[in-house]
Amino acid sequence: MAKTETETKKDKFGPEYVVEVYDARIGMRGFLVIDNTVLGPGKGGIRMTPDVTAEEVFRLARTMTWKNALADIPFGGAKAGIIMPPEVLRDKKLKKKFVQSFAKAISAFTPKKYIAGPDVNSGEEEMKWFVESTGNWRTATGKPANYCMAIFGGKGEKCGIPHEFGSTGFGVVESTEVAAELAGIPIKNATVAIHGFGNVGTFAYQFLTEKGAKIVALADKSGAIFSKNGFEKRLIGKAITGKKSLASVFPKLKISEKDFWKTKADILIPASVTDVINESNKNSIRVKIIVEAGNIPMSEKIENELFKKGILIVPDFVANTGGVISSYAEYRGYNPKRMFDLVSRKIRKVTNAILEKSIKEKRNPREIGMEMAIRKVAGRMKKREVVDK
């Protein structure tokens, strides 16, 4: 079954397609939103949660439109979501059935209109399942590094570049360093609080630590921890490699979620879920810089309020672009080193351009970034209109 969703708001940019799919055999229900493809095929990950909605997927797809435009890569904006109850997420065989059912249901759109990628609860293994189901290497990025395939009869093979390499977290740190420099805060010894300790948060922690920053507060699903002197590297490594909760590894350092948001630090990195900064905690925040590692960590209204309080904010569609730049690198057949170089170059360039203008004009960086992205997408749409006449 496939039907068009009519509730999503429409404007001159899109969405081009809003599709709901349902597989009655196993109860799989999912959404695909292809927002705008004027710059190239829609690119965006597949979110797999119990409560993902078409509206949430649309918001994320629109963000991808602007993100890809600012990253200056030939991808449009899109996103997908599969409603996965907890019991499906826990059962690998059933999860695979859901992913492959969804892949087959939307295969008419891949890869010309949509290219999949990892997101919440989806990683390299899920992308391999997706590609196996569609039978086309180009239908997804973020595949395992040892999953290789000959493409179009060319010499050699192209291999996956999984997000597990840390491209998004790496990009967040590159963006953070640029913001810190412009704010006059040396990244070495800068104090940082990170909310969310999954793929993005853990790599942000590691790359920031390598640059000499001091992480004083962390939070994951189990709760939050705080230490003004930072955390013992060996124990953090144990939490990451052993996939253990922060609270179980650092029981004596545990603080409440409420106290986490009161942490006094130079930099706050929300790397968890949508709207994690909200009416209940916005007035507790005491930092100089916020780098939005997660997608839509707060509403635009709250973001503007915090900006007016003097907090320098790096928007999500700038800070967390590392993943989609990595996806483009994989799509082109680059190796990991070339991918990381590309991420660094592109993210530093756009972060610097947006924040410099923000500081000079005393305007919200999101507003400036949006203007740049819209100008690019609208310009290409005008050119297409001329060609079509």
Q: Which active-site residues does the annotation give?
A: 79
Query: Helix H segments across 211-335?
Result: 233-241, 246-249, 257-260, 300-308, 316-319, 322-332
**385, part of any domain:** no
**383, part of any domain:** no
Same domain, 13 and 80: yes
**225, part of any domain:** yes
Domain final position from 160, 195, 220: 160
pLDDT at 7: 56
Q: Strand locations in the chain, DSSP E? A: 2-4, 17-23, 28-36, 42-43, 46-49, 76-83, 114-115, 148-149, 158-159, 191-195, 214-220, 223-226, 254-255, 267-270, 289-291, 312-314
Point out which residues pair with 149 in neighbouring strands: 158
Same domain, 180 and 98: no
Same domain, 301 and 354: yes
**379, part of any domain:** no
Read off the tokens for 43.
């690119």
Instruction: Count CB neighbours of 366 within 10 A.
Output: 22
pLDDT at 150: 77
**364, part of any domain:** yes
Point out which residues pair with 11 in neighbouring strands: 14
Same domain, 197 and 298: yes
CATH number of the domain residue 21 falls in? 3.40.50.10860
Same domain, 141 and 100: yes
Q: Tens-of-pLDDT digits for all 389 residues of the chain?
A: 444 344 568 999 999 999 999 999 999 999 999 999 999 999 999 999 999 999 999 989 998 999 999 999 999 999 999 999 999 999 999 999 999 999 999 999 999 999 999 988 999 999 999 999 999 999 999 999 999 987 655 567 889 999 889 999 999 999 999 999 999 999 999 999 999 999 899 999 999 999 999 999 999 999 999 999 999 999 999 999 888 999 999 999 999 999 999 999 999 999 998 899 999 999 999 999 999 999 889 999 999 999 999 999 999 999 999 999 999 999 998 999 999 999 999 999 999 999 999 999 999 999 999 999 999 999 999 987 766 65
The single residue listed with the structure tokens 């695909």 is 32
Coil/strand/helix, residue 136: coil
**Which helix (H) or strand (E) element contains residue 53?**
none
CATH number of the domain residue 176 falls in? 3.40.50.720
pLDDT at 385: 74
CA nearest to 322, candidates 293, 291, 356: 293
Same domain, 220 and 331: yes
Phi and psi for 7 in degrees, rounded to 5? -80, -20
**380, part of any domain:** no
**387, part of any domain:** no
By residue count, the chain amounts to: 389
How many whole angstroms separate alpha carbon 170 and alpha carbon 173?
A: 5
**Which helix (H) or strand (E) element contains residue 147?**
none
Total domain count for the chain?
A: 2
Task: Give me the domain span that covers residue 108.
Answer: 2-63+76-160
Instruction: Count CB neighbours of 23 within 10 A.
Output: 17
The single residue listed with the structure tokens 């503007």 is 304
How many whole angstroms separate alpha carbon 105 and alpha carbon 30?
A: 9
Judge whether 118 and 45 are in contact, CB under 8 Å.
Answer: yes
pLDDT at 3: 41
Question: Please, which residues have CB within 8 angstroms of residue 332's CB and are 6 or more apart in sequence?
Answer: none
Domain final position from 102, 126, 160: 160
Same domain, 27 and 46: yes
Domain final position from 160, 188, 209: 160
Same domain, 181 and 145: no
How many whole angstroms separate alpha carbon 97 and alpha carbon 132?
A: 12
